[in-house]
Amino acid sequence: MASRAPTKHRRSNDPEGVRRRVVDAAYAAFSTQGYHATSVHDLKREAGATGGALAHHFATKKELGLAVIRDRVAAAVEETWIRPVLAASTASEGIQAVFAGIIAELEGQGAVSGCPLNNLAIELARHDDDFRVSIDTVFVRWREAIADKLKADLSAGAVFDLDPEAFAVLVVASYSGAMAMAKAQQSAEPLRVCAEQLARVMCKRSPAVGL
């Protein structure tokens, strides 16, 4: 960011527009570089916001961080994971489609920044309880959505012999951990392998096997 010309400050009658640009810039920076490694000064420049405009919306960097988790990270999990899984014909198909979509996206980008929620959990959850609770809330919603879909599959006879809540924890954990390894490898391969392993496990609990 240091080499870029500063965006011109815009005096604006659009406070919501300023807020949106600040939160967008903070989401991009916090989830790739990290919260601590991002300076508020750079965010102001990136969003073309004055110090006064930023302070009008966020009295502290922490308030901005909480807004990023609540308004952007939660929305990203909703859009990337929850909606596709709930819309799929089964949880298994939904999970496979989500992994495939994310793998394709990473391979298109040619770089792995990691899962925004996981990145912020690792960086922020241990030392600040407000961050911890806001991050955990997103994890809980993510796991519950997958568990709900699995419950529907169980009722419909699409899977059997599976604890929906516990299996949802395994899905989210293996995705998050595979993404950390993908970041260390700068390759989507660990995600591909985990998706295949989850598919095998779910396949063995599907009554359609062998038909």
Asked if 196 touches its own copies (CB under 8 A), the answer is yes
| Binding map of its own copies across residues 152-171, x = CB under 8 A, - = no contact | -------------xxx-xx-
Window 47-76: residues binding its own copies (CB under 8 A): none
Q: What is the closest distance, in whole angstroms, from the C-beta atom of residue 87 to its own copies in the complex?
A: 24
- Interface with its own copies by CB under 8 A: which range of 6-14, 48-56, 93-101, 109-117? 109-117
Window 12-41: residues binding its own copies (CB under 8 A): 32-34, 36-37
Of the residues 88, 103, 201, 206, which one makes contact with its own copies according to CB under 8 A: 201
Q: What is the closest distance, in whole angstroms, from the C-beta atom of residue 178 to its own copies in the complex?
A: 4
Looking at the Cβ atoms of 55 and 184, the one nearer to its own copies is 184
Looking at the Cβ atoms of 56 and 126, the one nearer to its own copies is 126
Asked if 172 touches its own copies (CB under 8 A), the answer is yes
Asked if 186 touches its own copies (CB under 8 A), the answer is yes
Looking at the Cβ atoms of 97 and 169, the one nearer to its own copies is 169
What number of CA atoms fall less than 13 Å from residue 170's CA on the CB side? Answer: 15
92 CB contacts (<8 Å, ≥6 apart)?
153, 158, 159, 199, 202, 203, 206
Asked if 177 touches its own copies (CB under 8 A), the answer is yes
Asked if 111 touches its own copies (CB under 8 A), the answer is yes
CB neighbourhood size of 152 (10 A) = 15
> What are the DSSP calls for the chain, one per residue?
-TTSPPPPP---S-HHHHHHHHHHHHHHHHHHT-STTS-HHHHHHHHT--HHHHHHH-SSHHHHHHHHIIIIIHHHHIIIIIHHHHHSSSHHHHHHHHHHHHHHHHHHHT-----HHHHHHHHHTTT-HHHHHHHHHHHHHHHHHHHHHHHHHHHTTS--S--HHHHHHHHHHHHHHHHHHHHHHTSSHHHHHHHHHHHHHHHTT-TTTT-
Asked if 109 touches its own copies (CB under 8 A), the answer is no
Of the residues 12, 50, 113, 206, which one makes contact with its own copies according to CB under 8 A: 113
Window 115-154: residues binding its own copies (CB under 8 A): 118-119, 121-123, 125-127, 132, 135-136, 139
Question: Which residue in this structure is represented by tokens 């899984």?
Answer: 85
Tell me how many residues contact its own copies (CB under 8 A): 48
